[in-house]
């Protein structure tokens, strides 16, 4: 299924039904009085988070969502029925913004969460509402009020606990495939991953049912925050993560080039969002099954140590170092969750 993480839609709530002007006419009650019923309320347009959806693709060819109009009031004090709500099912992680004001209307984070995007209009009052002791035959009734109409921008931001970042071909997809059941596309060329991929990592220790969601974000390049490469479209997906794993591929690269790559990615994260640049980050050298990479690890470890950064050495091909890296990510994730709870 093609991934789609942005869409624009127009929603139109139902108008309220009109009130009715009517008088009771019965055989033994020739002056039965006003009997016009109220109009029914218009239906709302409601967003509902659905865990069975993972893309906004269904909205590509459908841009207008209208709720039902309320029914008009009728004689004999019969009120009109309310219009039916229009349900808009959206993936968990969707943010809904008003295009005109920029206001965030909904942030869907849990299955079944409901948010009214546009309220239906109120039904008009029938003439029975206007009867008074001094005005017993009113011929007045209100029209229903219009339902709200608005243009909305939808953004899907994946709900992952840990995000994988790094340059293209840093080994992110291979690592995700090694540590989870996800099967991202893996190939020996840049930008193999064209859309975010999620995988569930089960820590798997004895009696340990701990798991977390790991996201493979398409490779970043210099200028990603300005729209270069694929990064600008996917940086938003790591905004919700608590921890980042920064993978570095040092094969056929000098120590200076590796450090430059590390700084480049962090500069792109910070340029997109200062908060993103401050996220907890764990650094790992990949592809240590290759002889030249394995030989470069000690010097790289020293270079990063001088920056007070501990690095991990992993191989997605053999699994070397992967358990230790995941354990470190899990500890950092628990600490972040604990800090948020205490706050």
pTM flag (> 0.75): no
Paired sense of beta strands 94-98 and 149-156, if any: antiparallel
Q: What is the pLDDT along the chain (343 residues), one digit of tens a residue?
A: 445 678 899 999 999 999 999 998 776 666 678 999 999 999 999 999 998 887 788 887 888 999 999 999 999 999 999 999 999 999 888 999 999 999 999 999 899 999 999 999 999 999 999 998 888 889 999 999 999 999 999 988 777 789 888 888 778 888 888 888 766 444 443 434 446 677 888 876 544 557 888 888 775 644 444 444 445 556 777 787 889 999 999 988 899 999 998 998 888 888 888 888 889 999 999 999 999 999 999 999 999 999 999 999 999 999 999 999 999 999 999 888 777 665 5
The structure tokens listed for 49 are 């988070």
* Euclidean distance between CA atoms 61 and 59, whole angstroms: 6
Burial class (CB in 10 A: 0-12, 13-18, 19+), 297: middle
SS3 233: helix
| Domain chopping of the chain, boundaries | 1-156, 162-342
Sheet holding 86-91, edge to edge: 86-91, 45-50, 114-118
State the DSSP H helix or E strand holding residue 300, giving kind and residue range, or none if neither. Answer: helix 291-305
Strand partners, 317: none
Identify the CATH homologous superfamily for domain 1-156: GTP1/OBG domain (2.70.210.12)
Residue tagged 């890296």 (tokens): 325
The structure tokens listed for 100 are 């005109």
Strand partners, 200: 213
State the DSSP H helix or E strand holding residue 277, giving kind and residue range, or none if neither. Answer: helix 274-277
The structure tokens listed for 10 are 């127009």
Give residue 257's region: left, alpha or beta (phi > 0; psi -120 to 50).
alpha
Q: Is the Cβ–Cβ distance between 89 and 53 less than 8 Å?
A: yes
Fold of 162-342: Rossmann fold (3.40.50)
CA distances from 12 to 16, 116, 150, 151 (A): 12, 12, 7, 9
């Amino acid at each position: 299924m093609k991934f789609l993480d942005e869409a624009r839609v127009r929603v139109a709530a139902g108008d309220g039904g009109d009130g009715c002007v009517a008088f009771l006419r019965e055989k033994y009650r020739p002056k039965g009085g006003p009997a016009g019923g109220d109009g029914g309320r218009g239906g709302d347009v409601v967003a509902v988070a659905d865990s069975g959806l993972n893309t906004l693709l269904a909205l590509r060819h459908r841009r207008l969502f209208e709720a039902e109009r309320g029914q008009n009031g009728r004689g004999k004090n019969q009120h009109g029925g309310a219009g039916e709500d229009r349900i808009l099912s959206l993936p968990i992680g969707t943010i809904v913004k008003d295009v005109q004001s920029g206001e965030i209307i909904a942030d869907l984070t849990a299955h079944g969460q409901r948010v009214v995007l546009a309220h239906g209009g109120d039904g008009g009052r029938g003439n029975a509402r206007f009867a008074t002791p001094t005005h017993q035959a009113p011929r007045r009734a209100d029209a229903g009020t219009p339902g709200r109409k608005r243009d909305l921008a939808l953004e899907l931001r994946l709900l992952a606990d840990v995000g994988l970042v790094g340059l293209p071909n840093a080994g992110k997809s291979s690592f995700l495939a090694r540590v989870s059941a996800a099967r991202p596309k893996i190939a020996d060329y840049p930008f193999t991953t064209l859309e975010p991929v999620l995988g569930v990592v089960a820590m798997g220790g004895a009696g340990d049912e701990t798991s977390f969601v790991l996201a493979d974000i398409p490779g970043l390049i210099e200028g990603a925050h300005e729209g270069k490469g694929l990064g600008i479209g996917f940086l938003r997906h790591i905004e919700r993560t608590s921890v980042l794993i920064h993978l570095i591929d040092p094969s056929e690269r000098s120590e200076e080039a590796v450090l430059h790559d590390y700084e480049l990615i962090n500069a792109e994260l910070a340029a997109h969002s200062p908060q993103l640049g401050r996220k907890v980050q764990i650094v790992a050298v990949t592809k240590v099954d290759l002889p030249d990479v394995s030989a470069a690890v000690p010097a790289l470890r020293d270079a990063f140590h001088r920056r007070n950064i501990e690095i991990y050495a992993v191989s997605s091909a053999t699994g070397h170092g992967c358990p230790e890296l995941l354990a470190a990510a899990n500890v950092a994730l628990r600490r972040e969750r604990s800090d948020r709870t205490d706050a």
